Amino acid sequence: MGKTRFGIRRVDEFRWVIPKTGAMRAEALVFASERLLAAEGSEGTALEQLANVAHLPGLVGRALAMPDFHFGYGFPIGGVAAFDPAEGGVVSPGGVGYDINCGVRLLATELEADDVRPALATLLERIFEAVPSGLGSHGEAVQLNREELDRCLVDGARWAVERGLGTDADVESIESGGRIAGADPAAVSERAHARGLPQLGSLGSGNHFVELGRVVEVFRADAAEAFGLRAGQLVVSIHTGSRGLGHQVCDDAVRTMGRTAARHGIALPDRQLCCAPLGTPEAEAYLAGMAAAANFAFANRQIIAHQVRGAFRSVFAGQGGALPRTVYDVAHNIAKWEEHHVRGSSRRLCVHRKGATRAFPAGHPEIPARYRRVGQPVLVPGDMGRASWVLVGMPGAMAESFGSTCHGAGRLLSRAQAKRQARGRDIAAELGTRGILVRAASRATVVEEMPEAYKDVDEVVDVVVGAGLCERAARIEPLGVAKG
């Protein structure tokens, strides 16, 4: 319970509070173990960012950080904040991030991972060939004109399925049905259109990947059964977002809103928290553009899933159960209108999740019907050398974090630090000795994304489970990864 740096105080094993001081409108709450909090570093930059979020008007409850939190633009990555328009609440592009609707899709097969081992290298190579990756990569599965792109920005994953790039079952297994309402292509700049036009169906670079994995352990049998997961099963994870289109939408909004806060009398502790009051033209324009970029990302993951299925079809022709089905697809960089109970009443709030995942519990009407009995699948990728998790949302998340939880392991080292630490090492070869294959567009990406660059996802999951936000459903270990 003792006081530590930046005034943060320990509440219990999994919670820490930054008290309200100065112009802060509320406390900030950090979900973390002592070890994970210490890993944030001596300068406390991400903690300071979280305290800064608590200065924004119309904040409901506390500013929140998940255990995978680390330094970001404006908001810390791993940050969650909800705003009420009735109390002067705002929307902030920094609370969503530059890769709008970066998210994860989990695909499951009926194949035994051990049986696939002899064909694993071939399968990974086919996936790498089928899914364009790397900095500036262009999609090849769909050739778009401007009119078709605008339809995609409105209809999201459904647009791709209607063009034969998936099935209705895919759409039913995506957060919000793969379409965020309110999208307006007119709110997307010409520059953003131009950047997005050639990129649909491409992975990009950095921490984006397609990963082959094996379910190594099931924890909640009822949830795993509902999700169609079992020990020994071969699964595929896809992690990417809205590519250059989403980046440009954010960049445009940051430039526009840089002067907005002052016009509305909002004092900001950090200019990267530029924002606009909900309901103003600036806020409406950003939300419409952000929704369009989010729909582009849902369509992008839908097309990549189709490309992955093509790779499976080429390797396992005629083998029943080989084609992967969508378990779930969830966003972790987004601002959404949601109904939440606050102090005994239901309120419509704009919930910012930046590097945080929705985690709705059993019975919530926004969960696909076949999962509603157990709760929402929560997809938590780790690093390419350790593990990933499928969790299930719990009532504690609704009570304490606006239905939110962690989104991954969270960076421990910057990309520059990772490069220095990896000097003289062959990271791909090291992973190969552990039975993990790597196929990447560049050696630099592998170095920047080496396992040691990330926190241990098992420790992150221990916190959100211990805090009652989620429960464990299944643990997945990597077999092979294709990266940009």
Q: Which two tokens stand for residue 99?
A: 């890769």
Structural Rg of the chain based on CA atoms: 21
Amino acid found at 213? G
User: Structure tokens of 63?
Assistant: 């500013």
CB 181 within 8 A of CB 287: no
User: Could you give the CA distance from residue 192 to residue 252 in angstroms, rounded to a whole number?
Assistant: 9
What positions carry a catalytic annotation? 407
Q: Which of 301, 361, 300, 365 is nearest to 328 (CA)?
A: 301
Tokens found for residue 451:
């396992």
- DSSP for 306-326 reads HHHHHHHHHHSTT-TT-S-EE
Residues 6+ apart with CB under 8 A from 348: 84, 85, 337, 338, 339
Q: How far apart are CA 257 and CA 272, in angstroms?
A: 10
**Is the C-alpha dihedral spanning 130, 215, 227, 364 positive or negative?**
negative
Question: How many residues can be counted in the chain?
Answer: 484
Rounded Cα gap, residues 151 and 457, in angstroms: 38
Compute the distance between CA of residue 104 and CA of residue 358 in angstroms, rounded to an integer.
Answer: 12
Rounded Cα gap, residues 162 and 151, in angstroms: 11
State the DSSP H helix or E strand holding residue 154, giving kind and residue range, or none if neither. Answer: helix 146-155
Q: Kindly report the number of other CB atoms within 10 A of residue 151's CB atom.
A: 17
